[in-house]
Structure 1
Amino acid sequence: MARDRSQFRCAECGALFAQWAGQCTACGAWNSLAEHRAPSRAAERPASAGWSGERAITHLRAASAGAPARLPTGSTELDRVLGGGLVPGSVVLLGGDPGIGKSTLLLQTLARLAQSTRVLYASGEESAAQIAARAQRLQLGDADLPLLIDARLEAILDAAAGCEVLVVDSIQTLVAEAVASAAGSVAQVRECAARLTRLAKTSGVSVLIAGHVTKEGALAGPRVLEHIVDTVLYFEGDSSSPYRIVRAFKNRFGSVNELGVFAMTEAGLKEVSNPSAIFLTRHARPVAGSITMATLEGTRPLLLEVQALVESSPLGNPRRLALGMDGSRLAMLLAVLHRHAGVALFDQDVYVNLVGGLKVTETATDLPVLLAALSSLRNRPLPADVLSFGEVGLAGEVRPVRGGQERLGEAAKLGFKRAVVGKLNAPRKPIAGLEILALEHLGDLADVFARLTDGA
């Protein structure tokens, strides 16, 4: 009989090695090689090997490029993140920390779809009694929802015949008979994901897969899993906060960086129709170091509060701490503020916080952060009806950001009276009730700040 071979596979990139090493030479990850028993060459190959999707060659001109049909999920926020709803034959991966609400969202979504669509909920990590108890808490006990409690991939594929929507919870618990390794291993996760993708593409079933994340926030298992699926959604949010954010990091059928906002309640996840309201804080009295900024997440403008605290540092190397934005960018902005606006903070500790736990990666936070830091340094509160956004360059110029008209429209709708923006983001036509203070260079920041605080 042919004997199994001992191999070492990288948990990050899936590269194979004949012997263990401290570092993966393929991706550079340290201590990521794990031993597993690989079947011999004569053993059965994985069923997904050699599958290439379309077997016949076709021409681009003959291919249909029409908009894909969408299946609404019944949740406005989830449909927004997906790009308008589920696409038949698509594979959606939903990742997030344990207990953040992945199974809750999938169960609620499938219960709504079961009213008019043939669905199947396959679970390899929970019993039927556990799922029924969760459905009872979510007030879904009367939903006619087919359940399959089985971790065998082949059993799930057979049961999914004739379904339109399949939920798999979770990919790390599935086991394919053609792979000789434990559940959750790199080989098992990759094979199961490939087989589920083949099912979706050949039969038109929409597949929703739940995936666990590591302590670093990355999807457990090989990164190739993200390349196999069509859409990758991540759950974000602090466990101490009732609010949850679902963000799209990859979407072949819609725009990326879209987000949906939910609130976790005793009856499950509820949609938040006005997300700006949860990120804004109405202070009882004026507070120094606080300003409202407008960010654009996908196609949705959001308003959130930016707080800064500037305090004399007893240390030789003052601290720069940023929550919700890049800390190295904060250090760069403070250097630009010193060079081009004459405001020295080299002996001050600077702390910046984006209220609400939202992580913003766009550069529109630059101008609000500098205004908030200046307000805290001089202990002069900015008016509550002032809003700002804009990118700051190393030469001190204030650059425009995308979606300026949408941001200003959202601000006017919520009652803001003044907006400090880059000159190129100033609207061509006046916006009723909104005064625009356009900045071209940081050299004018002190004058604009004095105008705002003197009239407060």
Structure 2
Amino acid sequence: MAKKAKVQFVCQNCGYVSPKYLGRCPQCGKWNTLVEEIQQDTEDRRNRVSLTGEKAQPTKLKDVVFTKETRIQTELAELNRVLGGGVVPGSLVLIGGDPGIGKSTLLLQVSHQLAATGGKVLYVSGEESAQQIKLRAERLGSSDTDFYLYAETDMAEITHAIEQLKPDYVIIDSIQTMTQPDITSVAGSVSQVRETTAELMKIAKTNGIAIFIVGHVTKEGNIAGPRMLEHMVDTVLYFEGEKHHSFRILRAVKNRFGSTNEIGIFEMRERGLVEVANPSQVFLEERLAGATGSAIVVALEGSRPILVEIQALVSPTVFGNAKRTTTGLDFNRVSLIMAVLEKRAGLLLQNQDAFLKAAGGVKLNEPAIDLALAVAIASSYEEKGTASNECFIGEIGLTGEVRRVSSVESRVKEAAKLGFKKIYLPKNNLGDWTPPKGIELVAVTTLAETLKKVFK
């Protein structure tokens, strides 16, 4: 079948396709983002054909043979947790994150571990040479690993290498450097990212090969390329962290094989990424005893309870309008809590500057942190510290009531494990469950009542 050239204009911001040039994209409204691309239509390029030449055929649902997916465990239990229990053969996993956050380091360690268990791994790098990867592997102590390195960006050559090696796992670092030879646009364009991902998806699904893709992120923090990219893959993971902290958080935002509410916590060291088995202890180890403006919350990240210190500094403003600054906390949530404190608890905060942060570089955004936020602000305002063995759980409503939260039993158990003795929680969360020995549960119904009991 003869090849037919097709000229089209593709928006590099949203992926909108137009048969003619437009100055402004009608879909996203951006100016001068449409770029001319010439695409060759080739036969059977999108057909799902396995490495053995088998094509997909229509099959009745009752005739589909299904066995429970086998999950391959890596040595990183935190990664296994986020993936839903391990690596699923035939899955397509996209990992995004800021430059230098540790994406390549994580996948190099995973490649070493998977190869050590007998799997055949092909690590494809479009950004680094094989010698550079070897140097990093020596630093990580995994330079003697028996997995394949391939420095290439041409998808036709990569597909040929996969056909030759028949690996169990493929790492693509990164998808924005890969190119399809029959598409004339530059690497990283919408068409290139879409077509190379489609080719990798075909390889993964027809041959049972688990493929990990590294994705660059934009300045807004989203994965670069068309939004379709995140729809095509099975799992989307974001690798997050502060530049000035060594801790990294691996967060799932999409997972067809597990929960999207799980996170994995790592620490970047000289020898690579190390799991943080007890993140609560890490986030609390530098807390000052008796300090004002501090309160401990048992937050929930997925199914994992984590104790975090919330710090607040309230001081009289020297300007006409009071200043509000937050780090790791939602600005609108803080403003809401301060308004409730002023209206329902009688604290005059309208002429006070307020600076709040979640210690350790972690980001908190769930309703159960409201009570700890309010106590931290009141502690700094009243210049009265909270006890070192008490923590706070609860959502605050606009009328000043303390509302119930989810998974209160696991939160209390985590606090007890770290030596906390008194826990303030909503009265409606008290039920037919028994708290651990030595734990005093203080049931509260309103914010004003809580502040009276804490600062009596």
Identify the TM-score tier after normalising by the shorter chain: over 0.9
SS in 1 for 2:373: helix
Q: Deviations over 1:187-246 (max 9, x none)?
A: 000101111011111100000011111111110111111110000111111122111111
Whether the 8 Å CA contact 2:413–2:435 is kept in 1: the answer is no
Taking a change above 3 Å as real, the CA distance of residues 347 and 83 of structure 1, as seen in their structure-2 partners, is: same
Whether 2:444 is the aligned partner of 1:447: answer no
SS in 2 for 1:395: coil
Separation in structure 2 between the aligned mates of residue 348 and residue 66 of structure 1, nearest angstrom: 62
Of the candidates 209, 232, 256, which is equivalent to residue 205 of structure 1? Answer: 209
Of the candidates 401, 405, 410, which is equivalent to residue 405 of structure 2? Answer: 401
Separation in structure 1 between the aligned mates of residue 264 and residue 287 of structure 2, nearest angstrom: 26
Separation in structure 2 between the aligned mates of residue 46 and residue 243 of structure 1, nearest angstrom: 48
Of the candidates 224, 229, 235, which is equivalent to residue 233 of structure 2? Answer: 229
Of the candidates 432, 439, 447, which is equivalent to residue 434 of structure 1? Answer: 439
Report the counterpart of residue 149 of structure 2 in structure 1. Answer: 147
Separation in structure 2 between the aligned mates of residue 21 and residue 331 of structure 1, nearest angstrom: 41
Code of the residue aligned with 2:187 in structure 1: it is A
Separation in structure 1 between the aligned mates of residue 356 and residue 12 of structure 2, nearest angstrom: 35
Within 5 Å, give how 1:80-99 maps onto structure 2. Answer: 80-99=81-100
Report the counterpart of residue 187 of structure 1 in structure 2. Answer: 191
**Which deviates further from its counterpart, 320-329 or 101-110?**
320-329
Count of residue correspondences: 444
> What is the Cα deviation at residue 338 of structure 1?
1.9
Taking a change above 3 Å as real, the CA distance of residues 409 and 3 of structure 1, as seen in their structure-2 partners, is: closer
Code of the residue aligned with 1:71 in structure 2: it is I
SS in 2 for 1:38: strand
TM superposition score normalised by structure 2:
0.92
Whether 2:30 is the aligned partner of 1:26: answer no
Whether 2:347 is the aligned partner of 1:343: answer yes
Separation in structure 1 between the aligned mates of residue 123 and residue 293 of structure 2, nearest angstrom: 49
Code of the residue aligned with 2:424 in structure 1: it is V
Whether the 8 Å CA contact 1:46–1:178 is kept in 2: the answer is no
Whether the 8 Å CA contact 2:242–2:361 is kept in 1: the answer is yes
Separation in structure 1 between the aligned mates of residue 363 and residue 337 of structure 2, nearest angstrom: 18
SS in 2 for 1:436: strand
> What is the Cα deviation at residue 285 of structure 1?
3.7
Whether the 8 Å CA contact 1:279–1:355 is kept in 2: the answer is yes
**Which deviates further from its counterpart, 319-328 or 409-418?**
319-328
Report the counterpart of residue 298 of structure 2 in structure 1. Answer: 294
Code of the residue aligned with 2:138 in structure 1: it is Q
Separation in structure 2 between the aligned mates of residue 67 and residue 121 of structure 1, nearest angstrom: 27
Report the counterpart of residue 114 of structure 2 in structure 1. Answer: 113
> What is the Cα deviation at residue 446 of structure 1?
2.8
Separation in structure 1 between the aligned mates of residue 340 and residue 64 of structure 2, nearest angstrom: 52
SS in 1 for 2:455: helix
Within 5 Å, give how 1:366-377 maps onto structure 2. Answer: 366-377=370-381
Separation in structure 2 between the aligned mates of residue 287 and residue 178 of structure 1, nearest angstrom: 64
**Which deviates further from its counterpart, 367-376 or 137-146?**
137-146
Separation in structure 1 between the aligned mates of residue 233 and residue 387 of structure 2, nearest angstrom: 47
Separation in structure 2 between the aligned mates of residue 224 and residue 334 of structure 1, nearest angstrom: 40
Taking a change above 3 Å as real, the CA distance of residues 396 and 65 of structure 1, as seen in their structure-2 partners, is: farther
Whether the 8 Å CA contact 1:281–1:305 is kept in 2: the answer is no
Taking a change above 3 Å as real, the CA distance of residues 64 and 2 of structure 1, as seen in their structure-2 partners, is: closer
> What is the Cα deviation at residue 325 of structure 1?
1.7
Report the counterpart of residue 52 of structure 2 in structure 1. Answer: none
Taking a change above 3 Å as real, the CA distance of residues 62 and 414 of structure 1, as seen in their structure-2 partners, is: farther
Q: CA RMSD in A?
A: 2.1
Code of the residue aligned with 2:276 in structure 1: it is V
Whether the 8 Å CA contact 1:48–1:194 is kept in 2: the answer is no
> What is the Cα deviation at residue 36 of structure 1?
2.7
Within 5 Å, give how 1:4-83 maps onto structure 2. Answer: 5=7, 7=9, 9-17=10-18, 18-22=20-24, 24-28=25-29, 30-31=30-31, 33-39=33-39, 43-45=40-42, 48-49=45-46, 55-59=57-61, 63=64, 67-83=68-84
> What is the Cα deviation at residue 389 of structure 1?
1.8
Separation in structure 1 between the aligned mates of residue 133 and residue 16 of structure 2, nearest angstrom: 37
SS in 2 for 1:295: strand
Of the candidates 303, 308, 312, which is equivalent to residue 312 of structure 2? Answer: 308
Whether the 8 Å CA contact 1:366–1:391 is kept in 2: the answer is yes
Code of the residue aligned with 2:442 in structure 1: it is L
Taking a change above 3 Å as real, the CA distance of residues 63 and 344 of structure 1, as seen in their structure-2 partners, is: farther
Separation in structure 2 between the aligned mates of residue 48 and residue 435 of structure 1, nearest angstrom: 65
Taking a change above 3 Å as real, the CA distance of residues 64 and 398 of structure 1, as seen in their structure-2 partners, is: farther
Taking a change above 3 Å as real, the CA distance of residues 106 and 46 of structure 1, as seen in their structure-2 partners, is: farther
Taking a change above 3 Å as real, the CA distance of residues 430 and 195 of structure 1, as seen in their structure-2 partners, is: same
Report the counterpart of residue 379 of structure 1 in structure 2. Answer: 383
Taking a change above 3 Å as real, the CA distance of residues 349 and 266 of structure 1, as seen in their structure-2 partners, is: same
Separation in structure 2 between the aligned mates of residue 248 and residue 15 of structure 1, nearest angstrom: 27
Structure 2 unaligned regions, length at least 5:
50-54
Within 5 Å, give how 1:209-288 maps onto structure 2. Answer: 209-288=213-292
Code of the residue aligned with 2:121 in structure 1: it is V
Structure 1 unaligned regions, length at least 5:
452-456
Whether the 8 Å CA contact 1:341–1:445 is kept in 2: the answer is no
**Which deviates further from its counterpart, 30-39 or 413-422?**
30-39
Whether 2:418 is the aligned partner of 1:417: answer no
> What is the Cα deviation at residue 437 of structure 1?
1.2
TM superposition score normalised by structure 1:
0.92
Report the counterpart of residue 454 of structure 1 in structure 2. Answer: none
Counting aligned pairs with the same residue, the percent is: 43
Code of the residue aligned with 1:364 in structure 2: it is A
SS in 2 for 1:114: helix
Separation in structure 2 between the aligned mates of residue 172 and residue 145 of structure 1, nearest angstrom: 23
Report the counterpart of residue 134 of structure 1 in structure 2. Answer: 136
> What is the Cα deviation at residue 34 of structure 1?
3.5
> What is the Cα deviation at residue 426 of structure 1?
3.0
Separation in structure 1 between the aligned mates of residue 43 and residue 103 of structure 2, nearest angstrom: 29
Code of the residue aligned with 1:216 in structure 2: it is E
